[in-house]
Amino acid sequence: MRVFSGIRASGDKTLGNYSGGFRQYVRTQEEAAAAGGEAVFCVVDMHSITTPFEPEVLRESTLSVFAWLIATGLDPDRSIVFVQSHVPAHSEGAWLLGAVTAFGELRRMTQFKERADEQDFVSAGLFTYPVLMAADILLYDTDVVPVGDDQRQHVELTRDIAERFNQRFGETLVVPRGVYPEEGARVKNLQEPDRLMSTTRGAPQGVVRMIDEPDVIRKKFKTAVTDSGREVKHDPQEKAGVSNLIEIMAVATGASIAEVESRYDGAGYGQFKEDVGEAVVTLLTPFRERYDELRSDEGALLGLMKRGAENAAGVANPTLDRMYERMGFVRA
Ligand code: TRP
């Protein structure tokens, strides 16, 4: 059983990215191992150039996302963790799969339509993005693709592409299955609990970054917005701020919402906010220390990337060879 996850390198590295991203990847790693399988994690840098980008930002965010993946618990000895552009089979595979992808299918992709509407310059790469994503998945004989609901259409297209390839050229590719896990807590801005925690929008004081020092984190929680009541009760409609803090406490400690509520029954907001801050410091500090260590030695980090790429190529290259051969390419 093989699980494949594609991870976009973004600038955002907040508590929200931990809750909705890094934490889930570690879970995927453990679940794959428990099922006697293997998980593959790919930083999809080649997808990043399909919308406007800056070279320095691409470079920095690739290094940073990779380091965070390791720092938060992906284990290069048990999983394959690598950068897409380090394994040329991805771009080659995408080209081959272009032969069994219809123009009309790509034109129907809602993500393409949405993104294209946001841009002055709509690149050809944005249009063929789903074909590269299909190559990512299919090169690894992937059984399961855990993704957000927004990627459902792309995974369905990947299945259609695989089936079409198999029909046309003979059984070659494993047809993968998408799984769409319930999104866990969606962490909100501590100052504006009606919007998601993001570095691109919202009050910076309400954004907990994964690189924040302990005292910075404590202060952000101390000044978090609550309400005029005093009950630590989960009620996202009426008590957005407090509910967000309860959810963060649950993420940081592994407790359930109900457990957090009962533990703080009658405690008042002051103590609660302080404790949530402390729990987040305890959660993030080891990650940040490991991250700093990884970023302080770029040679070692590149070495980890190289090892991941070698492991990835060991799986992807034989699949790519099979594709070339079945399609009638002369292999010298
Ligand atoms: N398109 C995915 C996203 O936006 C990222 C991605 C690229 C991906 N290749 C993938 C996800 C392969 C799963 C499998 O989130």
Q: Is 151 in the pocket of ligand 1 (CB under 6 A)?
A: yes
Task: Write down all domains in the chain, each with its CATH number in brackets.
Answer: 2-184+297-327 (3.40.50.620), 204-293 (1.10.240.10)
10 Å CB burial of residue 115 (0-12, 13-18, 19+) is middle
The pTM of this model reads 0.95
Go through 98-109 and write b for each residue having 16 or more CB atoms within 10 A of its CB, e for each that does not.
bebbeeebbeeb
Mutation pick for ligand 1 pocket among 3, 44, 126, 139 (CB with most ligand atoms within 8 Å): 44
Mutation pick for ligand 1 pocket among 51, 133, 156, 158 (CB with most ligand atoms within 8 Å): 133
- CA–centroid distance, residue 130 to ligand 1 (Å): 9
- What pLDDT shows up at residue 182? 78
Residue pLDDT tens, the chain, 332 long: 999 999 998 877 999 999 999 999 999 999 999 999 999 999 999 999 999 999 999 999 999 999 999 999 999 999 999 999 999 999 999 999 999 999 999 999 999 999 999 999 999 999 999 999 999 999 999 999 999 999 999 999 999 999 999 999 999 999 999 999 877 679 999 999 999 999 989 999 999 999 999 999 999 999 999 999 999 999 999 999 999 999 999 999 999 999 999 999 999 999 999 999 999 999 999 999 999 999 999 999 999 999 999 999 999 999 999 999 999 999 99
For residue 209, the number of C-alpha atoms closer than 13 Å in the C-beta half-sphere is: 13
- CA–centroid distance, residue 303 to ligand 1 (Å): 24
Atom number, ligand 1, closest to the C-alpha of residue 136: 12
Q: Is 4 in the pocket of ligand 1 (CB under 6 A)?
A: yes
**Phi and psi based region of residue 268 (left: phi greater than 0; alpha: psi -120 to 50; beta: remaining):** left
Residue indicated by tokens 């949530």? 276
Which residue's alpha carbon is nearest to atom 6 within ligand 1?
6
